[in-house]
């Protein structure tokens, strides 16, 4: 049985098994949170990959994992596929939790799935042999044989990367928008930041494992540095301009940046909160772009 199918079955069994356990035990030992991780339960970065918030969350994720995961496993092999799934998912939890409060719970294989999607969609355009679907959409390309030498231009290489990136960003944007809308409607925390992180990690994997990567091995160090910088900037830009944080508690990122007085890199919420604390209020909250200083339960001043 392929690893993808085993992961699907394990997700279902874990979800069912958790229904018979005390909620507090599940939250501490199966759900990921920054608090759980810092308290020594580091294994939650893995167990949370197999947990899901509800049956709909489970079905959507497993549908994507089954179809895209099986395709990628055939393409890169079981070892690399295991690295993509577990590293991408765990890293998405770890990095995204820095933008949430210590007690905020995160669950699901979404981070892993977006890593898988990015690897699959990036490696195919960068492959020497194109799939029929890619050739149909973007035009046929020369197929390499054992007796013929094929050359590729750097322009074509980066255009293919750009195309794959645009497609992925469109998909991740639509998925994250829908999940954020659902989260707002249900009053629960959305893990859409983890989707972005998973995609960026998968993008790096996909480029580095592509067939044409070896043709530019001399530039590998430079490109990896650029990709890492884009990863950091992308995550922080998303956090600063899109992510809605808990207005009643400082997040790890805000606290860290505030402690070093790096105001230019603080989120708007952090600057607002710090201003209000300096003015003697309990906390500050951004409302429609305006900073409102508040005592517990009441609006007092806006700036």
Domains of the chain, start order: 3-241 (1.20.1540.10), 252-302 (no CATH)
Q: Are 92 and 28 in contact (CB under 8 A)?
A: no
pLDDT of residue 74: 84
How many angstroms separate the CA atoms of 57 and 60, rounded? 5
Residue 189 β-bridge partners = none
Q: Pull the structure tokens for residue 103.
A: 């007690």
Residue partners of 288: CB distance under 8 A and separation at least 6: none
Would you say residue 228 has pLDDT above 60?
yes
Would you say residue 246 has pLDDT above 50?
no
* Mean per-residue pLDDT over the chain, rounded: 69
Lowest mean pLDDT among 144-148, 222-226, 234-238: 144-148
Nearest alpha-carbon partner for 70 in 111, 109, 117: 117
Would you say residue 133 has pLDDT above 60?
no
Would you say residue 204 has pLDDT above 70?
yes
Q: Quick check: pTM over 0.85?
A: no
Alpha helix (H) ranges present in 19-77? 23-29, 34-38, 44-47, 55-76
């Amino acid at each position: 049985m392929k690893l993808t199918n085993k992961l699907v079955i394990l997700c279902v069994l874990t979800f069912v098994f958790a229904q018979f356990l005390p909620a507090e035990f599940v939250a501490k030992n199966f759900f990921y949170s920054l608090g759980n991780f810092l308290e020594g339960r580091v294994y939650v970065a893995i167990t949370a990959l197999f947990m899901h918030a509800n049956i709909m969350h489970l079905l959507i994720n497993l549908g994507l994992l089954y179809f895209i995961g099986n395709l990628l496993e055939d393409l890169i092999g079981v070892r690399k596929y295991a690295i993509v799934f577990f590293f991408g998912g765990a890293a998405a939890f770890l990095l995204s939790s820095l933008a949430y409060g210590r007690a905020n719970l995160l669950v699901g294989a979404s981070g892993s799935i977006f890593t898988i999607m990015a690897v699959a969609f990036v490696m195919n355009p960068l492959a020497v042999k194109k799939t029929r679907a890619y050739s149909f959409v973007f035009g046929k390309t020369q197929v390499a044989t054992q007796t013929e030498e094929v050359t590729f231009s750097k322009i074509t290489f980066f255009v293919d990367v750009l195309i794959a990136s645009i497609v992925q960003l469109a998909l991740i944007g639509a998925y994250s928008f829908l999940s954020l809308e659902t989260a707002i409607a249900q009053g629960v925390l959305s893990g859409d930041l983890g989707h972005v992180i998973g995609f960026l990690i998968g993008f790096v994997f996909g480029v580095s494992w592509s067939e044409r990567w070896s043709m530019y091995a001399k530039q590998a160090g430079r490109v990896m540095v650029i990709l890492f910088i884009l990863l950091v900037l992308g995550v922080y830009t998303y956090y600063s301009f899109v992510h809605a944080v808990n207005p009643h508690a400082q997040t790890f990122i805000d606290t860290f940046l505030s402690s070093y007085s790096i105001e230019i890199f603080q989120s708007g919420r952090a600057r607002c909160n710090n201003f209000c604390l300096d003015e003697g209020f309990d906390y500050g909250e951004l409302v429609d772009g305006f900073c409102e200083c508040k005592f517990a339960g009441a609006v007092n001043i806006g700036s």
